[in-house]
Structure 1
Amino acid sequence: MIRVLDVVLSVLGLVVAAPVLLVLWVLGWMESRSPVFRQERVGRHRRPFVLVKFRTMRPDTASVATHLAEASSVTPLGRFLRKTKLDELPQLWNVLKGEMSLVGPRPGLFNQEELLQERAARGVLDARPGITGLAQIRGIDMSTPRELAEVDRQMLDALTVRAYFRYLVLTVLGRGSGDRVRP
């Protein structure tokens, strides 16, 4: 049922948000000449996939977890995109392709070994990664791998259609802080 909701809502989201996507793409192009950010992430069963987001950091920023990046790397448009979570909109394409779900554990990087170990120990890597979830709502980011993996498992164990919509609504309403950047 969740996969059906993912497909229907991602198609609907891409259609409805098309004008916003276009405006953000143009603004991103004007700011950095590289409005879309692509990065290989850990998918379901540890399979790699390319995550797509609007760029929020300068193109020359090292490919590290957000909490390890310097705050000065975030562009002015990027600050707005992060605050509003609009940088996540292109991930609807990843959801449509089946690489992600709207709700699930945030996909990590392959170099986040401690997080991968914690998630593997709890079976979290057997789930499709998501755009949002319980950890994001609670403001837990990837800087605390054990806590994140535990909350991811808790979410997956209790994920119902009602909880799925609850996480989506809370995310749209701005609940949670998202991944922190070093000051």
Structure 2
Amino acid sequence: MENVKLLEIEKIKVNDSFIYLTLKRIIDIIGSLLGIIILSPVFIVTAMAIKIEDPKGPIFFTQKRNGKYPKTFNMYKFRSMVHNAEELLEKLKHKNEMNGPVFKIKDDPRITKVGKFIRKTSIDELPQLFNVLKGDMSLVGPRPPIPREVEQYNEYQMQRLSVKPGITCYWQVCGRNNIDFDEWVELDLKYIGERNLFVDIKLILMTVPCLLGDKNAA
């Protein structure tokens, strides 16, 4: 708790240098374009599988997320849940296994068979390459939260929103759903406090194995 109190007083120093942000954006554009082109067969097969299993719902799931505060944007994912998942959320909230404002349960009954696979391999996140290309997100940065979650943040947790969100960060490579919300925040603030091109490239390379199957994904 002493470390938390100290960080609440000493705000995280953010690397916002023009050179770093310019190079980071160049990497984002090149990386997202290459990713979309190379992974286009995966996009097509995944879209077909989603429609075959649950033809009533859309292929993509679009959700309002918080970017660098106070901006919001529509984040894209491959739909991994049944088409009426949001309607079923209220009935499941009492089963939440995460502390803080985030909702996660290990065996979420709303997840489809295809959804379970694409989550395990992080394929469900691939449409966010379009968010990166648009400039809503970066390849590396804290995961963008849902506005209703942000409403419950304290001042310390709000520092997660001091930079552009990303597809991957320390949380993705350090345990994901085995990490509680408080630790998640600490990992995001660790990234924000030390981010540079070396850290970004390291995290991108560490994320690649997740596409081969992550035992901590849900």
TM-score by length of 1: 0.86
Q: Which runs of 4+ in 1 moved over 6 A?
A: none
Consecutive unaligned residues of structure 1, counting only runs of 5 or more, are: none
8 Å contact from structure 1 (residues 29, 35) kept in 2: yes
Name the residue aligned to 1:89: 126
Deviations along 1:66-116, whole A, 9 cap, x unmatched?
505861111000111011111111000000000001110001111113346
Alignment of 1:1-183 (within 5 A): 1-33=23-55, 34-62=58-86, 66-67=103-104, 71-112=108-149, 113-115=151-153, 117-120=155-158, 123-141=159-177, 144-174=180-210, 177-178=216-217, 180=218
1:8 Cα deviation from its structure 2 partner: 0.6
1:22 Cα deviation from its structure 2 partner: 1.1
CA distance in 2: counterparts of 1:29 and 1:144, whole angstroms = 33
CA distance in 2: counterparts of 1:97 and 1:142, whole angstroms = 31
Consecutive unaligned residues of structure 2, counting only runs of 5 or more, are: 1-22, 90-101
TM-score by length of 2: 0.73
CA distance in 2: counterparts of 1:97 and 1:44, whole angstroms = 14
Aligned length, in residue pairs: 177
CA distance in 2: counterparts of 1:60 and 1:35, whole angstroms = 13
CA distance in 1: counterparts of 2:49 and 2:178, whole angstroms = 28
* Higher RCO (CA < 8 A, seq sep 6+): 2
RMSD between superposed Cα atoms in Å: 2.3
1:177 Cα deviation from its structure 2 partner: 2.2
**What's the % identity of the aligned pairs?**
32
CA distance in 1: counterparts of 2:163 and 2:215, whole angstroms = 22
Larger Rg computed on CA atoms: 2
